[in-house]
Structure 1
Amino acid sequence: MELQLRSATWEDYDAVNRIIREGQEEHADALPDRFARLDHVVAMGWYRSFSDQPHKEIIVAEVAGELVGVAMLEMKKSPTYEALVPRSYAYLNELAVSSSYQRQGIGRKLYEASVLWAKEREAVSLELNVWEFNEKALRFYASVGMSTLNRTLTVNLI
């Protein structure tokens, strides 16, 4: 399998949505009160913002001309509260691999490319959110050295 990583183009929009929709469906199955079922999970305006700005990037993974994975990154700054140290960090909005290509090292390659992208922009860290039900993602991120920084807690009121 020859894997190629590259920056996404406009022509990749539908394929990127197809890949991210697979993960969205898993989330909707696990948490239907939180996640909707959508044909286009990535809105065109949001997708466009990643190609229009130097502090955002979409990296896609291709095998034999087929898009099989995607990482969507952006640089962020910490909130300007006196109690927080000012810092710039990279945020990984999406990391997804088509189900038929998972467990072949593609997610790891996308993650490594994301780390490199962040370092090139002098980010002090790479951060992301993952839902507690998503044990597969939790194991993957632990395997690449990520750890839990904080947690969001909730209580249902209705």
Structure 2
Amino acid sequence: MNIMIRTAKQNDYKSLLPLFKQVHDFHVSARPDIYKENATPVEQAFFESQLLDDKQHIFVAVIAEDIAGVIVTKEEEINENTFVKARKVLYIQSLCVSEIHRKKGIGKKLTKYVFDFGRSLGVSSIELGVSEANTSAIEFYESLGMTTMSRKMEFKFNE
């Protein structure tokens, strides 16, 4: 199976929408108190604005003309201040492999592609946020050498 990684294009939107929805639906099921159901979680205009933004990079995995996965990233520069040193980070905002193409190494190939891309940009690290409920994603990222750097916690009030 030949997996090609390339930069997303404007005409990829319709093929990517089911993947964006797949990610969003996971978040809705894990945290319905935060996320709401939405048939179009990424509007086409927003997707197109990401493609035009030189700090955002969307890469797709293609198998025989079909988009099998997507990874969305964003460069961020952190300015030095009295607390932190200046650094440049590449954030993975989203990663999704279509359900029919899982366990074929596509997510690994996309993520390693982004690791190489980040290295070429000269970033100090590649970072991401992942839901505690998404244990398979945590295991996946750990298998690629990523480590937990912080944890976000909450105290919820009954409404």
TM range, smaller chain: over 0.9
1-structure distance, mates of 2:50, 2:30? 28
2-structure distance, mates of 1:49, 1:90? 18
Q: Does 1:62 align with 2:26?
A: no
2:114 alignment counterpart: 114
User: Structure 2 counterpart of 1:36, which letter?
Assistant: K
Q: Map residues 48-127 of structure 1 onto 2, 5 A cutoff.
A: 48-78=48-78, 80-127=80-127
What is the Cα-based RMSD across aligned positions, in Å? Answer: 1.3
1:28 alignment counterpart: 28
* Gap runs ≥5 in structure 2: none
2:137 alignment counterpart: 137
Q: Please give the secondary structure, in 2, of the residue aligned with 1:40.
A: coil
Shift of 1:50: 2.4
User: Structure 1 counterpart of 2:114, which letter?
Assistant: S
1-structure distance, mates of 2:7, 2:59? 5
> TM-score w.r.t. structure 1 length?
0.94
> TM-score w.r.t. structure 2 length?
0.94
Q: Does 1:148 align with 2:110?
A: no
Aligned residues: 158
Percent of residue pairs identical: 26
User: Structure 2 counterpart of 1:130, which letter?
Assistant: V
2-structure distance, mates of 1:55, 1:61? 20
Q: Which range moves more in the overlay, 41-50 or 112-121?
A: 41-50
1-structure distance, mates of 2:145, 2:49? 29
Shift of 1:102: 0.8
Q: Which range moves more in the overlay, 76-85 or 143-152?
A: 76-85
Shift of 1:49: 2.6
Deviations 1:92-125 (A, max 9, x none): 1111100111111000000011111111111100
Shift of 1:62: 0.9
User: Structure 1 counterpart of 2:59, which letter?
Assistant: I
User: Structure 1 counterpart of 2:76, which letter?
Assistant: K
